[in-house]
């Protein structure tokens, strides 16, 4: 019996097709992450709560982007890294706009 997951014409590479359930979970995760980020940008939270929600939103979006391909952990890590880089960029722009770090 022929294995349907292997494409024999292209060197035997298994092609994984995402299921409808994974696509729905992915879309839900992306929407929840974007809503969390927009709520943090629009509302005023305590510093620690806003920072935590900012990171959680980025992690949810990253995990949602990679979920259909079964790489959720890598997507969450990538979302975390991107959020930290954006936070540093925002901090640098704010400090630069205030005149820099002069003593």
52-70 confidence digits (pLDDT tens): 888 999 999 999 999 998 8
Q: What is the pLDDT of residues 9-45, one digit of tens each?
A: 556 666 677 889 999 999 999 999 999 988 888 777 7
Q: Is the pLDDT of residue 7 over 70?
A: no
Q: How far apart are CA 40 and CA 55, in angstroms?
A: 10
Any residues with CB less than 8 A from the CB of 5 and at least 6 apart, and which?
A: 14, 15, 16
Instruction: State both tokens at 101.
Output: 């770090």
Per-residue model confidence (pLDDT) at position 17: 79
Q: How far apart are CA 84 and CA 73, in angstroms?
A: 17
């Amino acid at each position: 019996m022929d294995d349907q997951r292997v494409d024999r014409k292209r060197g035997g590479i298994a092609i994984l097709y995402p299921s409808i359930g994974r696509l729905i979970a992915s879309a839900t995760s992306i929407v929840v992450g974007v809503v969390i980020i927009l709520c943090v940008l629009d509302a005023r939270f305590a510093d620690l709560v806003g920072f935590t929600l900012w990171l959680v939103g980025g992690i949810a979006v990253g995990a949602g982007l990679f979920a259909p391909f079964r790489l959720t952990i890598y997507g969450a890590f990538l979302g975390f890294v991107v959020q930290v880089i954006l936070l540093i960029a925002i901090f640098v722009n704010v400090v630069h706009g205030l005149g820099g770090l002069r003593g």
